[in-house]
Each structure stands twice: as structure tokens, then as C-alpha cells.
Structure 1
Amino acid sequence: MRRREALQRLALLVGATLSLPVQAALRGETTAGVPLVFSEAQQRLMADLADVILPSTDTPGAKDAGVHQFIGHVIGHCTAPAQQELFLKGLQQTDALSQTVFRKPFSELDSPQRTEVVRQLTQREKPFFLTLRELTIVGYFTSETGATKTLAYLPIPGRFQGDLPLKPGQKVWAL
């Protein structure tokens, strides 16, 4: 197999792994109907959940990148009403699980407690969590913060080098 053919297949594979709502959002498409608008509490919960998935370390986390706004836009404007209801149910289940296990809302939990709730959430509300995780990762790495502070960003690339060795600890490139 030639390199060009391998790269084309890889691009097709990566593009096909994104869900249809994420692909629609990245193309700027919206679904017909009235968009779903999240409350302030729901926005805060989405930000806290995204921050558990991609926390701040030596680079900014999902909350710093405003990923919850991306998630809100994709769910509110680019998904079918049935999927929106499943997502809202997942948010409600997250708060209910937090109240049941720790007797506090999710936003008041410390980091280990939040991690425990998310761990349980991955088993109880798997479709919700998979959607949340996908949107968090795509939203983060397509944000300015993720592309410039986490990935190595070169706004005007030089010539193409298809096989370039990376040094240990070097960031991957954002193109």
C-alpha cells in the first residue's frame, strides 16, 4: 500500500469515528426546530464534568477552554430531540448519583469524589458518558486553547515532511 493511499484511509477512518452531531457541528450545520438552551446550573455541571475528563495540569483544562459552551451548542443545536432528552437525563442522573453517594450536588464535591461519581456514571449511563467524553475531547482540541497551549501549533507551516521523528515529551502537531 502506498503512503498516499494509507493517509487517505486513515483520514476516512478518523472522520468516520466522530458521531453525526459532532460532524454537523464542525461543519456549522444545525437541526431544524427549536434549539435547546441549557440553564446556568446545567452549564456549570457540564463544565465540571468536562473538567473531570480533561483537568487542568501544566496545560489548561476543558473548563478553561470553555468546552461546556461547545457541548451546549452541539447538543442544543445539532442533535435530534430524542438525543437531547437522553443528554438531559444523563445530567439529571449525574446530580442524583452525586446526591445519593455523597449527599451533595456535583459542583460541591472535591476532585476524588467527582472522579468517583464519573466512574460510576460510566457504568450506569454509558451512552451519556460516551457522548460527553467525545464532545469534551473534540471541543477541547478544536478550541484555541487546546490547539495552541496543549498541541504544538504552527500557523504557517513549512514544507511537508511526512515522517518526522518526535523527541521524547514533544507535543503532537495541531494542523
Structure 2
Amino acid sequence: MNRREAIQHVALLMGGALAAPSIAGAMGQVLNTAPSLTVTPEQEALLAEVADVIIPTTGTPGAKAAGAQKFIIRVMRDCYPKADQDAFYNGLAKLDADSKTKFGKGFMDLDNAQKTEMVKQTTTADKPFFLRMKELTTLGYFTSEIGATKALAYLPVPGQFDGCKPMEPGQKTWAL
């Protein structure tokens, strides 16, 4: 199985099709050769925090530990046109501004419960931003070494294909 097939299988596991630019970004392609937005260290840190709310550290490392924010920045820069980049980073800024309005402090300074509440609010208040953020976070996480080896069962050299093998209770699903 090649990388393209693996990403398509991950997309199906995540419950739907991924946007074409996201798939291209996961495969390392560059679709956008026009000038892109410059991401500040503060924006990168904010992306890491939001991604870590979407996939938090539990029994396995979360999105922040996997470096999902670096994947998001690269895919947005290399695969999305400037208008989409503007919309995405405006959504990120809006999340931070809404946190300041609601709690009197920026998203980075909130406790975990407040961060979760703000992300849940964003699912309806700015659905396009949330859906893109969720898509890029999950794709970045599950195609990272941490996501593929810690969150998923990983067999680097698969043996014989057995399409109907029962899973043990609590067994992880297989990485593709």
C-alpha cells in the first residue's frame, strides 16, 4: 500500500472524505506557489493548543506532542490559496478574541475545561474554521509517527492479509 492509499483509508476511518488540498499536503505536494501568509510564533502556539483540545493527551500523546501544528501550518501554506489562509487564521484569531470576551483572557491562558468549552462553542459559531481545523489536526496527527505508532497499532512489514480477523476487546485499530 502506498502513502496515497493510506491517506484515503485514514480519511474513511475519520468518517468522510478529506479536502483535496489536505490530501495533497499530506503527500508533500505544493499546490500554492503564490505568496502565503507568514505565521507568527504566537499563532503557531495557539494552533498547538487548539489541536491539543481536539486530540488531547490521554493514554497516548496528543496532537501537540505529535507536532500537528507544524503540519497544519505547512499544509495551509503549501496547499491552500491565500483567501482560504486568511479565513483560517481569522477563525483562529476569532477564537482567541472570543476567549478574551467570555473569560477575560486569551485562549492560551484558559484552563482545560474553558478551552474545551471555547472549542465546542466554535463548532457552531465558526463551523468552517472548526471543520478545517479538525480535519488538519486529525490528518496531521494520524500521519505522524506518534499517531501511527502510539494511537494506532502499527505493523511495519505486514504479513498475510486476513480481512476477517476478530479484534480483542480494547485492541487498537490498525495503522494503514
Please, what TM-score do these two structures have when normalized by structure 2?
Answer: 0.89
Identity %: 48
- The answer to whether the 8 A contact 1:36-1:75 is kept is no
Aligned residue for 1:159, secondary structure, equals coil
Amino acid of the residue matched to residue 80 of structure 1? Answer: P
**C-alpha RMSD of the superposition:** 1.7
Partners of 2:55 and 2:27 lie apart in 1 by 24
Aligned to 1:165: 166
Deviations 1:73-130 (A, max 9, x none): 1111110111001001101101110000000010010000001111111111100000
Query: Structure 1 stretches (4+) deviating beyond 6 angstroms?
Result: none
For the pair shown, which has the larger CA radius of gyration, 1 or 2? 1
Partners of 2:125 and 2:113 lie apart in 1 by 19
Aligned to 1:27: 27
Aligned to 1:96: 97
- The answer to whether the 8 A contact 1:37-1:72 is kept is no
Aligned to 2:4: none
Deviations 1:24-64 (A, max 9, x none): 11232211212333100000000000000000001000000
Unpaired stretches in structure 1, ≥5 consecutive residues = 1-9
Give the alignment of 1:48-59 within 5 angstroms: 48-59=49-60
- The answer to whether the 8 A contact 2:21-2:80 is kept is yes
* Structure having greater relative contact order (Cα 8 Å, sep ≥ 6): 2
Number of residue pairs the alignment of both structures matches: 165
- The answer to whether the 8 A contact 1:36-1:77 is kept is no
